[in-house]
Chain A
Amino acid sequence: MNTLIFRTVAPYLSALMLLFSVFVLLRGHNEPGGGFIGGLIAVSAFAIYGIACGVSAVRRAMKYHPMSIAASGLLLAVLSVMPSIFLGQSAMTSQWLAVPFLGTVIDLSTPLFFDIGVYLVVVGAISSIALSLEERAD
């Protein structure tokens, strides 16, 4: 897989895919997409980057251990369930907040953070598996 073209293109391709994965994640509530799909796209991005440039490059790029990313995602998802408890509602009742931003309105909500948690868990867990397999294949 060490063709010059692939190695040259792979970083850009991966970056684009990562950007796309975040886009898919954020539009998820109203258009096709969401944390799970977004996460899988991101994993593919990392996989391509890994095949082209080696696992250590991916690990450097990810900065944190994939399992730490997964764990923080799980934590975020669980935390996003909590706020309603403090508001006297049952757990997991979604909370919505409309924030005006540069002339438009952004809907912030607990399901959004929940979805980001799902995204991180998928990215972390699956890329952890893929990366360690690639590592041994060397």
Chain B
Amino acid sequence: MPLFGVEATFWALLSPFVAAALSPILAKTLKHNASWILAVIPALAFLQFLSFVPGIAEGQTFKASLEWVPTFNVNFSIYLDGLSVLFALLISGIGTLIVLYAGGYLKNHENFGQFLSFLFLFMGAMLGVVVADNIITLFVYWELTSITSFLLIGFDHLRRSSRRSAIQALVVTGGGGLALMAGLLLAGFAGGSFEMSELINSGDVLRESPYYTAIFILVLLGAFTKSAQFPFHFWLPNAMEAPTPVSAYLHSATMVKAGVYLLMRMHPVLGDTELWMTVLPIFGGLTLLVGTILGLRQTDLKLVLAYSTVASLGLLVMLTGTSDPIAIQGAVAYLFAHSLFKGSLFMVVGTVDHEAGTRDLNRVGGLFFAMPITAIAAVLSALSMAGILPLIGFVAKEVLYDGTWHIVNGGLWTAVAVLGNAMMFAMAATVAWKPFFGTKVKTPKQAHEGSILLIAGAVTLAVLGLLAGIFVASVGHQLLSPMTSAVLGIPFDEEMHLIPTYLSPALYLSMTTFALGILVFMYMDKLRALIADALRVIGWGPDKGFDQTLDLIIRFGTTLTQAIQTGSMVTYMRATFSVIALMLFIPMILTGNWPVLEGLGSLYAYEWFITAIVVIGVYAVLTARYRVTAIVLLGIQGFAVALIYLLFGAPDLSFTQFMVETLSVVILALVMTRLNLKPTDARSLRGKVFDISLSVLCGAGISMLLMSVVQLPFDATLSEFFTQYSRSVAHGRNIVNVILVDFRGFDTIGEISVVMVTGLAVLALIRVRPKSNGTSNTEKNR
């Protein structure tokens, strides 16, 4: 593959996985300084994606494809347009900074190499999600992000709460992923293509498809679980158990936006319908309000940010749900701004936590002079989050207000947006103000400025937020408008301004937001108490529901297992043979194909002789007083069958039958001696009658089945083939053996593997000694 151009993107996609493999080695030798070297890899990927920006700003798109499983329409194909490139830039760019930050944050951590490795795995997966063109490829990457997120949340795996959160995130996002797979496949079949680039240009095909509602719901389930929309929002705050670099990267800047990405990606074909414009804004708006209200209650700075992320995701979904060009431009700008300021704020909180030893709102304060650079980054990012001039957050808010204001019936959505933004304003003020200004509070650790690894990322993102605000016209033209065009499916390029050109409604709405926000901030403590009381009254939430559901599933499983696995051998045998009897008789009853009993012909004298042996054998088994005797007598039946084989010209089969019969008698007898059984039969009369009828049924069923089979015309094709070619092709006169070792040798490999594994399994079973050699075990094995 070439090193430049579209094809080189494959290298960019591969590079994080290479970095993941290198991480443990480098971390072992270089410790935290490994970050400096490894950060080069995502930085190069960033440059690769950056090279597409000029072309995309002119409305170009780029595609490349490698064959994967062509027979199933699965290709490793990529598609680069405004949407995927902006996402890829955020992922690789913020990823570079996070790798550096992780070096500072997990300095001297013994599992640092492993952590970086997981982080790079995630980066590779996330890049794949946003640039994948083939929907199967997209889905594989999507699931990979869930798995890597699981690994990262559970990184501190010795803590119980970490493990719980990791499992919760995996269950929620993985469950949504399953729905998404169904949705994508349906969309692929309904739309006639498995390539996203073709699918999104298919016009109204999906909207008019009878499967539209199904596709819509399934895709939404995938997107909502991933992007933590109400009522699936609970996993995201819990995911804050992960080390802060993970929270900054996965759970604010990138992975949780994958759901939004998917909605935006499929907007050209799924959006702009009644259903879309009702369901998305409702859930998005609800999530925005729930997220902000729950966020105000928190005193843990990281949780404040986590809930504000939930709220922001809700806002994005709400805006995407309006299907209005300006509102979507607002969503795009807000998404961009959010990744910058939220990534930065998370890193700031992590640095405070790292240097001061706590991130509790009530235990930090007045740290400005101890950590001035961090404080400045915090203030810049918080200004962007609050939506204040001249940061990119301000522009985003203006555009999205403009969007919601002018759409039909947009009043409700505008009100929700203003309310949510006001509360986010208060949260931003909390995060930037409380730790750094006001009265100085004694912190657990003597706070001082973080190392360059710790502050580089937060400062870079904060400054970028400022620069993007100042140069919003070119950022808008180069990055944001192309993405909006991709989301809308039609070209869109409206100039963006930092300073409002006229006194628009949006500006008044901004003023209202600020006023409300200041009010909320002033009465924060009272509000917090109020929300806490309200939640106590409600007393139940989806988080608790999750536990209850898991509990229910486990209890159901236990009950079912106890009902089926009684531990009684007799029950197992009866169940097995009852099923066999049913399987034999049901087809005959249903089809009415009973075997014909006439024309069986007469028997020769020696055949009568063998039949007599069988009958005597059965009589002997039934009248045997001891189990061991009965087992040995059972061998008579087997030998009689072997004799029949011999008489009908199958010496090989007969030979084998003799040996198998002998060995089974020996092994059965040995097993019996181990089981500590009573020497005589202990079954009740009822049990005996049941077992007798069952065995008669099974025997009769097998006989009738064989008779039916024999009465069918014999197809000699295979026999003739083997007879003809056994000597000439396989150099063997014994057809049976030639089939075993040559014609059907592959089957034999499978069979001997089974024999081998069975041997191992039996060996293991025999070696297990019962914990107590008491009577209960003997009793159960009756």
Contacts and interface: CB of A to CB of B under 8 A. Distances in A.
B87 to A, nearest CB: 45
A37 B652 CA distance: 8
28 contacts: A29-B733, A29-B741, A30-B733, A32-B652, A32-B655, A33-B655, A34-B734, A34-B740, A36-B740, A37-B655, A40-B659, A40-B663, A66-B759, A67-B759, A74-B756, A78-B749, A92-B745, A107-B731, A115-B741, A118-B740, A118-B741, A124-B756, A129-B762, A129-B763, A133-B670, A133-B674, A134-B670, A137-B674
A96 B663 contact: no
Contacts of B749: 77-78, 81
Interface string A53-84: 00000000000001100110110011001000
Contact of A33 (B652, B667, B760): B652
Given A32-B652, A37-B652, A74-B753, A81 B745 contact: yes
Contacts of A133: 667, 670-671, 674, 766
A22 interface: no
Given A30-B734, A35-B741, A40-B660, 4 more contacts: A67-B760, A70-B759, A128-B763, A132-B767
Given A28-B734, A30-B733, A41 B659 contact: yes
B745 A111 contact: yes
Interface string B654-694: 01100110110011001101100000000000000000000
In the A-B complex, the 6 residue pairs with the closest CB atoms: A125-B759, A40-B659, A133-B670, A29-B732, A32-B651, A111-B741
B93 to A, nearest CB: 48
Nearest to A107: B731
Contact of A29 (B663, B667, B738, B763): B738
A135 to B, nearest CB: 8
Interface string B750-782: 001101101110110011000000000000000
Contacts of B659: 37, 40-41, 44
Interface in A86-138: 92, 94, 96, 107, 109, 111, 114-115, 117-118, 121-122, 124-126, 128-130, 132-134, 136-137
A36 B673 CA distance: 28
Contacts of B671: 133
Interface of A: 24, 28-37, 40-41, 43-44, 47, 66-67, 70-71, 73-74, 77-78, 81, 92, 94, 96, 107, 109, 111, 114-115, 117-118, 121-122, 124-126, 128-130, 132-134, 136-137
Contacts, number: 137
B746 interface: yes
B736 interface: yes
B324 interface: no
A64 B758 CA distance: 19
Contacts of B660: 40
A117 B659 CA distance: 19
A24 B659 CA distance: 13
Nearest to A125: B759
B730 interface: yes
Nearest to B759: A125
Contacts of B670: 130, 133-134, 137
Contacts of A124: 756, 759
Nearest to A31: B734
Interface in B620-667: 651-652, 655-656, 659-660, 662-663, 666-667
B679 to A, nearest CB: 15
A70 B760 CA distance: 10
A125 B752 CA distance: 9
Contact of A73 (B746, B752, B760): B752
A118 B745 CA distance: 11
B548 interface: no
Contact of B731 (A70, A109, A134): A109
B209 interface: no
B741 to A, nearest CB: 4
A34 B656 CA distance: 10
Contact of B756 (A34, A41, A70, A96): A70
B748 interface: yes
Contact of A44 (B663, B733, B745, B748): B663
Given A34-B740, A132-B767, A126 B759 contact: yes
Given A29-B737, A67-B760, A96-B731, A136 B766 contact: yes
B300 interface: no
A81 B749 CA distance: 10
Contacts of A33: 652, 655, 734, 737
Contacts of B673: 137
A114 B652 contact: no
Nearest to A133: B670
A137 B752 CA distance: 27
Contacts of B755: 70, 121-122, 125-126
Nearest to B653: A32
Contact of B742 (A74, A111, A136): A111
A120 B344 CA distance: 66
A97 to B, nearest CB: 11
Nearest to A129: B762
A130 B652 contact: no
Contacts of A41: 659
Interface in B445-472: none
Nearest to B744: A92
Contact of B730 (A24, A94, A132): A94
Nearest to A21: B659
A96 B730 CA distance: 9
Contacts of A44: 659, 662-663, 666
Given A34-B734, A109-B731, A128-B759, A121 B752 contact: yes
B732 A130 contact: no
Contacts of A132: 762-763, 766-767
B752 A115 contact: no
Nearest to A78: B749
Contacts of B753: 74
B663 A43 contact: yes
Contacts of A137: 670, 673-674
A118 B748 contact: yes
Contact of A74 (B652, B663, B752): B752
Contacts of B762: 128-129, 132
Interface string B306-336: 0000000000000000000000000000000
Q: Which of A28, A35, A96 has the most CB of B within 10 A?
A: A28
Centre residue among A44, A67, A126 by max chain B CB count within 10 A: A126
A66 B759 CA distance: 9
A117 B673 CA distance: 32
